[in-house]
A and B are shown apart, each in its own frame.
Chain A
């Protein structure tokens, strides 16, 4: 593929082609028609163009824009706008309160938010600075001189050492590797950890040492900066010679150099013009569902406020009477004439008076709580720290903590998330005997659920353990297989493994050092297995496979055998098998075949029914343990048969039309009359604790969907391994691999194919849905599972079928979508998110999961191993799938509970406060006279009641972390949103009305007459201060009543708040100022405290107000207990210390017993699942083409390419 084109000539043509293979992470930016010309190693010539510098800035503000921009950001919040409006109103004479009442809290809130913004921006700034100041060596004169990144300019010649990051987009000139290649890791860009090869133009290979490089004078003509990561077109003009450039010569910023001592390159794009920066995207900021509901609550409160004001306004316009002489109404006053005007102005007066009903500090408090929750609790949880990769959990946003407590659907990627992408040869069956002692995760899980404790079995001391091989059975290892009943068959199996594959050996030809390059990890595992059994495959040429065989019979003698490979019949998804015809050195002609059990069994020679039956049983057993199986068979060929067949094969191979089809047909002719050798079972190693985690999560009421790019077999297999599907479930499989579809595809008409598939999918969906509904109506119907592949999904997501798909999948406990593209992953996620209005969570590790992660309510990236792309797009990053248990069941649930309580409490305390004011309004002729002093009112929210609720939001725990995990069902309260329903709001509102009435009425009723022995009388401010004191006490103590876990911080803050009020009152009431102000409350608190009456009310009123809540809580707990309350009661005598041992189970068996028990517990006869799975190389190119990357199309290409390389690669110094 030639991707470079002359820029002047047919740039339009290249533009026409680009979009089809361009993948961009952000929005596509229009490309300027012109090109850029860079003079290498010549700063002066580049001067006139004024390229951008290499320093980057990701900050939001600078010193000058901070205040205006920051304030603008703040006032995008509706609550802040509201308070700004109220503050403006309170500056006008219609306000009953002084402006301070509203301005003070608002400025406090703004100040806190701005400080937070400034702090975050400062951190970004420091981060930028550390990047900009990291050093890189550039050529100056004839020397490498280190300079900071920010001083790098376009055209500079730079030297990058191994493992360093590229400071800008660089044109690759030369490398220490002789053939001008270097390896780069692109993990930061696309999340792929496999190394990419970049190759310099041969013309520039020599410019490596400074003396030589300084001679380099080139001119680069290339495209303008753009954000397409995988394209680059341009020319390099060196000494009047024009050389085309391709992406192979471009080293992108953000990547790092690997396995290469150093490289030299010329800077092309710098700073914000690099491709990675052009791709920089701001993750769409997500708001939690609870916060959106909170908006509704705020609107409701606002309506309540308007109602209250309206009542007051109407009341005022009725009762205002010009005969009230003492009001001194003049004829010129508006109050004297127009009742409508009275109502109108009173309305606004009352709005400023009652503005405290909307809790201004709510948002800022919640933000603070969430910030601490995420940075202190989630990021520092030792339970979520993964020691092996040294990765703690990371909350990248603090917006979504409580969303974690309400997740109902989890969409999970497979590879790297559920599995380790590590295939291990685990078991095998040879001639009807099963070998291998391992116990898989799923077996262990089942055993544990049945109350057995399975020990990690002791490995026999000499057991070989390496990547891809996790097999131990003394009957086979160390050549012991020769004592088995059928040693010849064993030998055939090992040879089959060593010969029938498309693996390439690399590196030293010794068993320890060799590296197998395989199209799929399964193949590598099989070849590794052969190596460990003594059949070491070490070299491949286009026609020969060399195997070093240890012949145990001959006492450890080692013999190199060269097998001539005559034909390779490739693997594809229709054939589901792969064969190799080889000739032994002694002339024996053998066809080795490996493939899916059903395919192989069909082609076996007659007879051997016993072995067949036993092998099938083994396959089923392997399959239900979550292992991936392959059947192996061989056939001895006589030369005549072979030769006649080979002619047909060559004919088919050179056919011009339908080559694939013809090859398949020819293969059929020889792949028959096979002799069954046995089967292999490979463990697709799950991440630690995955089945247990999935089991726990499903008990918590969370439904888990697996969305994977893998083939259907693999996906189903993993679903088995993860316990998502088992044999008791009713499975609906909607696959595009049906005869009808295949037929249509062969006819090849695109429109026709689409129509047929759509019809098929529609039919299948309808049928499945009907059946599913049938099961739903029966009481004890089986659980349902849906498996659907990407092609069908494409049609099922069509608007006409979407509803059917949704209702079917919502009825299923688990759903597996296989062969789905990244876009489809996102579509499925938003189908559930938008269609079913459920809270969704996506978890994945690679670049292909980014869209899904961003589409879900909560996106989780797996950190620590793969690249950064998924993590960068995610909201939370954890190192292991199993940490979801802690993240959701502990942190999520607590956060949800806490935020709900905090919101409700805020609502309650402000309502209570405002209602006392409202009741008072009725007794002031609706004049809008304020009940409380200005300062009391403004400090009520931000000072006297602020801290306890934050402590509540941090430390509230209904049950301990271990109980949360032990009773995952508690999580369902979050899914049902039990703590943030209108019913709960109503209860709190009732409580607020009750308490405000008690506080207001009790004081006003009892303070009418003389209140001490000297017959003195209370005035307005005495009464209001008394009410305020009672209110502060009641509202603060209420925190203790609603807490399930009271730490000393609760006592300190509750006590402190009450004390703060008293101290404030003492000081505030004790001073006079020379300012012109109404010193209404002067000395009031001292007057109050000089009476017995004060203390009598102070005991009575808070007690009575809290008694109501106490009785309610008690009745609720006793008659309608929440689940967590029952759990609290069950474990009321346990201290936190004993928590670790909850999951210990008493009866312990020896490993042997445990294993046999575990195996005996496995479901048997039902199974039709035999666990065939084999990743054909085809699927990788499927994705690669989606991503615009060109991967070799055929597995065999890998072999062919390697064979073209003449000598085995020797690692360089």
Chain B
């Protein structure tokens, strides 16, 4: 906003004409800064009741979610180490990359009755599915429609095989998890339903039902599972689940569901094909069987958090009430004003 004397001459030139008009600003609540407003002051009453209200709401919620979590039965079995034959354990990478049979048997014991559906998960640890290089190595348009088969620029280094585009391209698809589990209870096979394990939206919109795998795993190095080139991607639910990349390096993915109840004391034999190489980066592999409640899986955190916060609030309300009764400070005591406390001095 530059000023100069010329505009001054102009200003007063205009003003001589405008002098008859009053320059009195018009009244409005906005310009006079008198808009009606609520002026909250943290008085003891307000503070105590806020704490009480929070605790009254949070404690029941905590109890509810804790109960929900307690209902969930979860069986976790880590197998990455045990499924390597003892002699091969000195060089696990060589074993997993070698041609030796990878079959492995595990036995799980049900300690509490599990109502169907029982979900089968695999859990990987120290696997950075959220690594920048990894996350971006996919082509969503290619997955959705055969038209965009050639949009593979983001997929490096798994973009093409011998000049032909790989469908689905990219590191994510390439590293598809390929351990398989076969479950049986008391020697009777347990059916694992692999349908309906992916989010519906993924299945219907992100993975096209006319897109079929092409040139997949044909490169120099095989990363993981292969795909049946005759089934469209929208039906390849393992891939769909895998490609919804996890947020953290420890993650679970849904493998399938068991649609029969498991009773307390049942033993479950798992025959698994230990194909997936997590050994080179010392990643752990676990198999998880879990039921769910309305709030999801085993998750004590929410309940505990609600209870803790509610408890703290209740405690603070109590503490403040006691403190207020024992050593009250009068509201608006002028002796607290800095110029009264210490004339001339500062706070």
Contact = CB atoms under 8 A, between A and B. Distances in A.
A398 B347 CA distance: 30
A1013 B130 contact: no
Interface stretch (B178-186, B209-217, B225-233, B249-257): B249-257
Nearest to B293: A1013
Contacts of A406: none
Interface stretch (A139-147, A569-577, A1123-1131, A1193-1201): A1123-1131
Interface string B129-173: 111111111111100100010010110011000000000000100
Interface stretch (A73-81, A510-518, A526-534, A1111-1119): A1111-1119
Given A326-B134, A872-B3, A379 B25 contact: yes
A92 interface: no
Contacts of A1045: 37-39
B55 to A, nearest CB: 11
A96 interface: yes
A978 to B, nearest CB: 7
Contact of A924 (B50, B58, B130, B277): B130
Given A1017-B252, A1107-B309, A868 B11 contact: yes
A380 interface: yes
Contacts of A961: 33
Contact of B6 (A276, A396, A1007, A1126): A276
B88 interface: no
B5 A387 contact: no
Interface in A260-313: 276-277, 279-283, 285
A978 B28 CA distance: 32
Contacts of B1: 120, 285, 396-398
A58 B157 contact: no
B246 A1076 contact: no
Contact of B294 (A894, A925, A1092): A1092
A492 interface: no
Contact of A56 (B6, B12, B36, B40): B6
A1104 B313 CA distance: 10
B59 to A, nearest CB: 12
Contacts of A1123: 337-339, 347
B7 interface: yes
- The size bracket of the interface on B is 35 or more
A327 B117 CA distance: 35
Interface in B218-244: 223, 241, 244
Nearest to B13: A165
A1072 interface: yes
Interface in A1084-1111: 1086-1087, 1091-1093, 1096-1097, 1099-1100, 1103-1104, 1107, 1110-1111
Given A925-B249, A1006-B302, A1078-B138, A127 B7 contact: yes
Contacts of B151: 1076
B157 A328 contact: yes
A725 B45 CA distance: 48
A1015 B130 contact: no
Contacts of B58: 1100, 1103
Interface in A1048-1076: 1048-1049, 1072, 1074-1076
A661 interface: no
Interface in B12-60: 12-14, 16, 19, 22-28, 30-43, 47, 50, 54, 58
A382 B305 contact: no
Contacts of A120: 1
A124 B138 CA distance: 55
Given A277-B6, A326-B134, A868-B8, A923 B305 contact: no
A927 B131 contact: yes
A377 interface: yes
Contact of A1100 (B157, B299, B302): B302
Interface stretch (A317-325, A548-556, A623-631): A317-325
Interface in B182-198: 196-197
A124 B249 contact: no
A328 B137 contact: yes
B71 to A, nearest CB: 11
B119 interface: yes
A1009 interface: yes
A923 B1 CA distance: 50
A390 B252 contact: no
A163 B247 contact: no
A384 to B, nearest CB: 9
B98 interface: no
Contacts of B305: 1002, 1006, 1100, 1104
A1110 B154 CA distance: 46
A449 interface: no
Nearest to A376: B31
A1013 B32 CA distance: 56
- The size bracket of the interface on A is 35 or more
A796 to B, nearest CB: 27
Contacts of B47: 1114
Contact of B299 (A58, A188, A282, A1006): A1006
Given A127-B10, A1016-B199, A1126-B333, A923 B23 contact: no
B39 A924 contact: no
A1048 B61 CA distance: 31
Given A120-B1, A134-B13, A392 B8 contact: no
A1107 B294 contact: no
A253 interface: yes
B290 interface: yes
Interface string A862-880: 0000001101110000000
B224 to A, nearest CB: 8
A1018 B253 CA distance: 9
A1083 interface: yes
A957 B37 contact: yes
A967 B293 CA distance: 60
A62 interface: no
A279 B245 CA distance: 69
B21 to A, nearest CB: 9
B166 to A, nearest CB: 12
B331 interface: yes
Interface stretch (A598-606, A1019-1027, A1144-1152): A1019-1027
A680 to B, nearest CB: 38
Interface of A: 25, 56, 58, 60, 96, 120, 124, 127-128, 130-131, 134, 163, 165, 187-189, 253-254, 276-277, 279-283, 285, 321, 323-328, 330, 335, 349, 376-377, 379-382, 385, 387, 390-392, 396-398, 868-869, 871-873, 894, 923-925, 927-930, 955, 957, 961, 967, 969, 972-973, 976, 978, 1002, 1004-1020, 1022-1024, 1043-1049, 1072, 1074-1080, 1082-1083, 1086-1087, 1091-1093, 1096-1097, 1099-1100, 1103-1104, 1107, 1110-1111, 1113-1114, 1117-1118, 1121-1123, 1125-1132, 1136
Interface of B: 1-14, 16, 19, 22-28, 30-43, 47, 50, 54, 58, 61, 65, 117, 119, 121, 127-141, 144, 148, 151, 153-154, 157-158, 171, 174-175, 196-197, 199, 201-202, 205-206, 223, 241, 244-254, 257, 277, 280-281, 290, 292-299, 301-302, 305-306, 309, 313, 316, 329, 331-334, 336-339, 346-347
29 contacts: A60-B2, A124-B7, A285-B1, A327-B171, A328-B158, A330-B157, A380-B31, A381-B32, A396-B3, A872-B3, A924-B131, A925-B128, A955-B33, A961-B33, A1007-B247, A1013-B292, A1015-B197, A1015-B290, A1022-B247, A1046-B38, A1049-B35, A1082-B201, A1096-B302, A1099-B61, A1104-B309, A1107-B54, A1107-B309, A1113-B42, A1129-B331
Listed from nearest, the 4 A-B pairs whose CB atoms lie closest are: A1129-B332, A280-B4, A1010-B297, A1009-B297
Given A276-B5, A390-B23, A1103-B309, 17 more contacts: A163-B16, A282-B2, A285-B1, A323-B280, A349-B132, A869-B5, A927-B132, A973-B347, A1012-B296, A1017-B246, A1020-B129, A1020-B135, A1020-B247, A1048-B36, A1076-B141, A1099-B61, A1129-B43
